[in-house]
Amino acid sequence: MTDISHIQLHQESLEETGCILGLIMIRGGLAMYKMCAAVHPDKGTNSPTPER
């Protein structure tokens, strides 16, 4: 019984850290995107046809 509860607890903490890591990655990605858009305004959202 203790093994099952331990696994459940571990899974919950993993999900929490996963959510936190996801938030950090999303915020970091947005910051990088804003920086890139500031450096390259032609590649930002104001360009109707972004070049690849």
pLDDT digits (tens, 9 = 90+) for 1-52: 556 676 677 778 888 888 888 888 889 888 988 888 888 777 555 545 555 5
Quote the pLDDT of residue 52. 52
DSSP-H helix ranges across the chain: 2-39
Q: How many domains does the chain have?
A: 1
Distances (CA, A) of 38 to 20, 28, 49, 50: 27, 15, 17, 15
**Domain of 7, in residue numbers:** 2-41
- Residue at 48 is within a domain: no
Distances (CA, A) of 5 to 21, 36, 52: 24, 46, 50
- Residue at 51 is within a domain: no
- Residue at 16 is within a domain: yes
Quote the pLDDT of residue 2. 58
Distance separating alpha carbons of residues 1 and 17, to the nearest angstrom: 25
Single pTM value for the model? 0.40
- Residue at 7 is within a domain: yes
- Residue at 47 is within a domain: no
- Residue at 28 is within a domain: yes
**24 contacts 17 by C-beta, under 8 angstroms:** no
- Residue at 49 is within a domain: no
- Residue at 46 is within a domain: no
